[in-house]
Structure 1
Amino acid sequence: MTGPSLTVLAPILVLIAACAVDAWVYADAKEHLRRGHPAVFTFGPVRIATPEAWFLGCLIMWAVFFPLYLTVTGRNPFR
């Protein structure tokens, strides 16, 4: 077999998919802000309200921030 193996390609494909989702979160949060309905999450002193904050949160801790973003924007797939 020639070319990269699946064990090399799988993490790269996951990283590409995660970056695409992060870009979607940023664009969607920006659209919510433009329409006057920003996606805002507050927990004690922590406040996430800008598209940039959502993007960075998803980039750093995707497993936490992406479901949180979906919930805040009313797209909760767990309902």
Structure 2
Amino acid sequence: MAIAVLVILDLWVYPDACSRARQNEPVAVRLGGFTIDAPRVWVAFCVVLFVIFFPLYLAARRAPQ
């Protein structure tokens, strides 16, 4: 059950990030010298380290640009 919820949330990240990128409001965060702003990168990081990157995605999506 928990894995199904993680998969559904990970699958939500991609279309949400793509939609925001098309509206010229990309979800972006800068970690040191590394910037995460591409939808496919968000999904990859959310799949690999969900506990860290999904909350970071939610925070970055709410942050003013």
Question: Do these two structures clear the TM 0.5 threshold for a shared fold by scoring above it?
Answer: yes
Q: How far 1:46 sits from its partner (Å)?
A: 1.4
Q: How far 1:43 sits from its partner (Å)?
A: 1.4
Distance 2:36 2:7 in 1: 19
Show structure 1 runs of 4+ deviating over 3 A.
none
Query: Which of 10, 20, 23 does residue 22 from structure 1 map onto?
Result: 10
Q: Which amino acid aligns with 1:36?
A: N
2:33 maps to 1:45: yes
Q: Structure 1 unaligned segments of length 5 or more: list them.
A: 1-12
The aligned residue for residue 4 of structure 1 is none
Query: Which of 64, 71, 76 does residue 59 from structure 2 map onto?
Result: 71
Q: How far 1:48 sits from its partner (Å)?
A: 0.5
**Largest Rg, 1 or 2:** 1
Query: Which of 23, 43, 62 does residue 50 from structure 2 map onto?
Result: 62
Structure that is richer in helix per residue: 2
Q: TM (normalized to structure 1)?
A: 0.75
Q: TM (normalized to structure 2)?
A: 0.90
Count of equivalent residues:
63
Could you say what the CA RMSD is over the residues aligned between the two structures, in angstroms? 1.2
